[in-house]
Structure 1
Amino acid sequence: MASNGELTILRLTIAFAAAALLAGGAEAQCLHSCGDVDIPYPFGIGSGDDCALFPGYKIDCNNNRPFYLDVEALSISLQLGQMGVMTPISSSCYNTTAKNMDSTMWGFNLSGTPFMLSDSNKFTVIGCQSLAYISDPMSNYTSGCASSCPGATVVSATNGTCSGIGCCQTTIPKGLEYYKVSFEESMNTSGIYNTTPCSYAVLMDYSNFTLLNSYLASPLKFNTTYGGRAPVMFDWAIWDARDCVEAQKNHTSYACKSDHSVCLNYSSGAELSAYMCNCSKGYQGNPYLQGSNGCRDINECEHPESYSCYGECRNKDGGFDCSCHAGTRGNASIPGGCQKNFLTPKAQVAIGVVAFILSILFGFLGWEVIRHKRSIKRQALLRQNDEFFQQHGGQLLLEMMKVEGNAGFTLYDRQEIETATNNFNKTHIIGEGGRELFTGQC
């Protein structure tokens, strides 16, 4: 008779309340590492509520191993908003004594916690006569896949190819909170128990899975390689607001505390539902903390493996400058991007001085040309005026003035003449001769 074991993570209700003091008025001692695993805030270890942002972010440390309830935590990423944990591998094996299938099926419930199952996980089944399901009864979600080993094809399967021959995989949607495994009883190993009596199924982080031919020849090898547990990724976020706009309205509860932090909207499905914090570009650290414990400037010049600079690197707040060394020019951010200058620094200075002097000289010459043109134009105008003076009796007038002694005359402009003659009206003509016309005043 099949035995069913289920590891269920109890539903938590996240209490978004202020941190309380321990009995006796002393604050709990908060730890942020357990064994070799860092536990950065907003997570924390300790009995006081102030050790973590909210109670749902508390981690237990048992024998230098961190646990989130009953699953061991492997890592916590602030930047990605993920936590890696180890979960048991479900199995279904033929019992030769009872002549039936013995199945051990695991599952857990993340409802009410700050976690969800990451869609970077894949439901993975290893076996030669297997059909397994992954389901979430609360969302009516069910999926699964089947694997088989027709003839000798199992021995010719390529490492890393999980295509249904001895191994199958299927993706899961974003936002699942419940995970439970089950096996199809009608598709079992009763007919092949001499070679492959067991099948295995688990939801696991796809990046941590590598299919080996040895798993196909002996599925038990898969289970023993991982020690009966496989890594799975949880997504996490800050759930006290639906998005960054709503969160930033309350400065007290807003979780992005660092001066160099940015807020990112988090979607658990089709709609926004929470937010998370990251350090601004050029900074690293903890965006959930203030001051020196928060986001700090990255000295990119100390990490050439991540920030390419093949010239002279100068760090600055939030970034860096990369320039070619003295005597070279070009693009210092790519290999071979800086080329040697053919001119020495002294020659470059000399060229600059000469260019400056020439610019002043050309400017002066240009100004002199303009002045010369204006002088020529003025002289031409004076000659024209003299010609008009001679043509219209100017010289004769001067001679008459010399004879008369103190005789004088008045010059009128065109506007005054037009007014006096009623705009050169013909009724005011008193005589004409040659090219001259004489009019009388109104």
Structure 2
Amino acid sequence: MVVQSSWYNFSDQDSQGYEVLSNKYPRGVPMVLDFAFRDGSCPYAGGPVRPGYRCVNGNSSCVNATSAEGYFCKCWEHYDGNPYIPNGCQADINECELRKQNPHLQNDYPCDGVCKNRLGGYDCPCKPGMKGDGIKGTCTEKFPLAAKVVVGIAAMIVVLVLMVMVHQLLKFRRFYEQNGGPVLNGVKNIRIYTRKQIKQMTNNYRRVVGEGHFGKVYLGTLKDKKQVAIKKSIKVDTHMKKEFTDEVIIQSTMRHKNIVMLIGCCLELDVPMLVYEFVARGNLYDVLFKCRDKILVGTRLRIAVGSAEGLTYMHSAGESTVRHGDVKSANILLDEKFTPKVSDFGTSKLLVRGKTEMTEHVIGDMSYIDPVYMEQGIVTQKSDVYGFGVVLIELITRRPATYDAERSYVANFVEACLAKRARNFIDNDVTSEADIDLLEMVSRVAVDCLKPNPEERQDMKQVEHRLLEIVAQSEDHSQERDYKGDFSPAPDDVALFKGLGE
């Protein structure tokens, strides 16, 4: 028996004959034959092929014999067939299937990854998440455990951030809808700003230009460099919040030189923010009582007339009338030229023309509130007339309005006017007899605004007309002085000259 020597080991049983070996190895034994053609050797590369050369298959190669001179033909690696006939080595070996069907061949076709057959061989890329060479058995994980932990934590952070962002967006959307965004988005003259835009306009809420119990007012700048005032309330009553949409619509229709213009609003907050035109000098209250600069009587008259014109427009504009509800000097703003602008419509309400409104909640500054409104809860436009009468007292006396149970601030002034002692209350800075006469006339207008019975009060149109008549008398008096050539200094000027001389 001829057998491969490296495979066979002799035993005593083998000496008993062929039948013992047949029973011992029923499937036969591997055998190696040294087969070769002895009529020459393989031609050298690029050399001529001699007649009778037998390796004619395109997918085969010539191999020189090792035991003696000669050669034999062999199909290329990964090809199978007969190398001695034309096109005999054509069948591609599926190494992956061989590995699967014959585990003992896995060492012949190693693959520590994903086996993929191809023509003329096979590939073995590493499994997903690993790197290296699967055939050489060098596949290792791309990310070590520490890297996986870091990536996992980072992924969790990203997910949490995304969840927070989505939550914020949903919250902003909810605020937008609760604050009437779908309705206000189509309102003329009003622009809807996002939180991001408001933050950019205010430079992250850097400069506060006003602050009080209502909240804060920030200075903002639009893209065209125009300055605006952005009002942010501390809180808003649930009942008033429901009416916010109506309030903005009211303000959007108010376009008058003596009314602060509402430019837009931000609805992506629990408490909406309002964007107004910026009025440089601030409010009348601060100008009167926090700054002791002299205010000419002519300037005071212009402030009174302009404020009256703004309130008259508010009361008469549109099909429905509007009352302000919180008329006071702090809600009258002044620009660089002392032009007044009525502001803060936070308590304004639509009223059907000619009707009154009952309310259980008294809203506004107690020093300016109509007693009827406070005691009976009856709100009319005459309530604004009363508040304006208190503002006139402040312009005349330059003393801030105060509140007590007897309403002595108003009562004392009215009593003095009825007793023709109004000049005792006039601001001491006013010394010209002509100016004092003008302020006495304004005092009579204020008294009519402050009558206890709302029905006896004049409306804002009538108040405006009377103030205009006083302004006209002031101008006539000024022209008369110029015509007569009265160049003698007025008492105010004498005091000024003395001050300069000292």
TM-score tier, shorter chain, comes to under 0.3
Q: Taking structure 2 as the reference length, what is the TM-score of the superposition?
A: 0.23
Q: Who wins on radius of gyration, i.e. which is larger?
A: 2
Structure (1 or 2) with the greater strand fraction: 1
